[in-house]
Amino acid sequence: MDNRRQFMLPEEDLEFLEQYGLSWETINDGSQWLLLHGFPVPEGYNHRESIVGIRIETGYPGAQLDMVYFFPVLKRIDGKAIPASDSMQAIESKQFQRWSRHRTPQNPWRPGVDSVATHVQLIEEWLEKELRR
């Protein structure tokens, strides 16, 4: 796979992505997207890995990262619905499933502290938390 770098991320994010070990790319497709390929999905879903899309907001890293987008669509194997996951987002002609998940007043975005690394941690937590619901 030719991992494209259509825009640059902060050095801190590049270091994290190198350590995290997944194939990744940055693309411009209406918005700026970070795509993480082969993202591990916990047992209990219909797929064991996914492409994860993270929209890199204008003004990042001062502006917060929000939500997560999965391709292919994730479903729980026990048949329980996943709330706030019905919207789809086209990214390069693939239909990504948007999980509408947000930071809370108890866990706000902290410019200068939060980054792609802390957002990926949240994504991992959201996947695990959904299975406990």
DSSP category for residue 79: -
**23: phi then psi, degrees, rounded to nearest 5:** -70, 140
Single pTM value for the model: 0.95
Q: State pLDDT tens for residues 55-81.
A: 999 999 999 999 999 999 999 999 999
Q: At what angle do helices 11-20 and 116-132 cross, to 10 degrees?
A: 50
Asked if residues 46 and 82 have their Cβ atoms less than 8 Å apart, the reply is: no
pLDDT of 2 higher than 80: no
Confidence band for 3, pLDDT divided at 50, 70 and 90: confident
